[in-house]
Amino acid sequence: MEALNRFFAKSNSAQVAKQRLQTLLAYDRLEIPPGVLALIKDDIVAAISRRVSVDCEHVNVNLLHEQNSSKLVVDIPLIANRGARAVRSAGRSNAR
Protein backbone atom coordinates (compact mmCIF):
# COMPACT_ATOMS: atom_id res chain seq x y z
CA MET A 1 0.00 0.00 0.00
CA GLU A 2 2.80 2.36 1.01
CA ALA A 3 4.58 1.57 -2.25
CA LEU A 4 1.38 2.13 -4.17
CA ASN A 5 0.90 5.54 -2.55
CA ARG A 6 4.44 6.52 -3.33
CA PHE A 7 3.95 5.42 -6.91
CA PHE A 8 0.90 7.65 -7.29
CA ALA A 9 2.48 10.58 -5.49
CA LYS A 10 5.30 10.46 -7.98
CA SER A 11 3.30 10.03 -11.14
CA ASN A 12 0.53 12.46 -10.25
CA SER A 13 2.62 15.63 -10.33
CA ALA A 14 0.18 17.24 -12.77
CA GLN A 15 -2.44 17.26 -10.01
CA VAL A 16 0.06 18.86 -7.62
CA ALA A 17 0.87 21.49 -10.26
CA LYS A 18 -2.81 22.28 -10.74
CA GLN A 19 -3.48 22.65 -7.01
CA ARG A 20 -0.41 24.82 -6.46
CA LEU A 21 -1.41 27.04 -9.37
CA GLN A 22 -4.98 27.44 -8.15
CA THR A 23 -3.77 28.58 -4.74
CA LEU A 24 -1.03 30.83 -6.10
CA LEU A 25 -3.27 32.49 -8.69
CA ALA A 26 -5.86 33.24 -6.00
CA TYR A 27 -3.16 35.22 -4.17
CA ASP A 28 -1.86 36.79 -7.40
CA ARG A 29 -5.31 37.96 -8.50
CA LEU A 30 -6.07 39.51 -5.11
CA GLU A 31 -2.56 40.98 -5.01
CA ILE A 32 -1.99 39.56 -1.53
CA PRO A 33 1.59 38.51 -0.78
CA PRO A 34 1.30 35.07 0.87
CA GLY A 35 3.09 36.32 4.02
CA VAL A 36 0.26 38.74 4.72
CA LEU A 37 -1.91 35.84 5.85
CA ALA A 38 0.42 35.27 8.81
CA LEU A 39 0.05 38.94 9.77
CA ILE A 40 -3.74 38.73 9.49
CA LYS A 41 -3.63 35.67 11.73
CA ASP A 42 -1.64 37.58 14.38
CA ASP A 43 -4.12 40.49 14.19
CA ILE A 44 -7.10 38.20 14.64
CA VAL A 45 -5.51 36.31 17.51
CA ALA A 46 -4.65 39.59 19.25
CA ALA A 47 -8.21 40.90 18.83
CA ILE A 48 -9.97 37.72 19.99
CA SER A 49 -7.53 37.14 22.86
CA ARG A 50 -8.63 40.39 24.45
CA ARG A 51 -12.01 38.74 25.18
CA VAL A 52 -11.43 34.98 25.34
CA SER A 53 -8.50 32.55 25.55
CA VAL A 54 -7.39 31.35 22.18
CA ASP A 55 -5.45 28.19 21.44
CA CYS A 56 -2.85 30.13 19.44
CA GLU A 57 -1.01 27.01 18.29
CA HIS A 58 -3.98 25.75 16.34
CA VAL A 59 -5.34 28.92 14.75
CA ASN A 60 -5.74 28.54 10.98
CA VAL A 61 -6.24 31.28 8.42
CA ASN A 62 -6.73 30.09 4.88
CA LEU A 63 -7.62 31.63 1.56
CA LEU A 64 -10.36 29.60 -0.09
CA HIS A 65 -10.79 30.09 -3.80
CA GLU A 66 -13.81 29.12 -5.79
CA GLN A 67 -14.67 29.68 -9.42
CA ASN A 68 -15.38 33.40 -9.19
CA SER A 69 -14.76 34.34 -5.58
CA SER A 70 -12.24 34.03 -2.82
CA LYS A 71 -12.79 34.13 0.92
CA LEU A 72 -10.81 33.91 4.10
CA VAL A 73 -11.65 30.92 6.24
CA VAL A 74 -10.56 31.34 9.85
CA ASP A 75 -10.46 28.54 12.39
CA ILE A 76 -9.94 29.69 15.99
CA PRO A 77 -9.95 27.03 18.73
CA LEU A 78 -10.70 28.40 22.19
CA ILE A 79 -9.33 27.23 25.55
CA ALA A 80 -11.54 26.86 28.59
CA ASN A 81 -10.22 28.85 31.57
CA ARG A 82 -8.39 26.88 34.20
CA GLY A 83 -10.63 26.31 37.16
CA ALA A 84 -13.75 26.36 35.11
CA ARG A 85 -15.40 23.05 34.31
CA ALA A 86 -13.85 21.29 31.39
CA VAL A 87 -15.58 21.68 28.08
CA ARG A 88 -17.72 18.60 27.74
CA SER A 89 -16.27 17.40 24.45
CA ALA A 90 -12.83 17.72 26.04
CA GLY A 91 -11.69 18.76 22.63
CA ARG A 92 -11.39 22.20 21.14
CA SER A 93 -14.40 24.24 20.27
CA ASN A 94 -14.24 25.89 16.94
CA ALA A 95 -15.28 29.46 16.31
CA ARG A 96 -15.72 30.05 12.64
Coil vs helix vs strand at 46: helix
DSSP letter, residue 54: B
How would you class 76 by CB atoms within 10 Å of its CB: exposed for 0-12, middle for 13-18, buried for 19 or more?
buried
Among 1, 2, 67, 88, binds another protein (CB under 8 A): 67
Of the candidate spans 7-15, 32-40, 48-56, 86-94, the one that interacts with another protein by CB under 8 A turns out to be 7-15
- Is 71 near another protein (CB under 8 A)? no
Contact residues: another protein, CB under 8 A: 11-15, 17-18, 20-22, 24-25, 28-29, 67
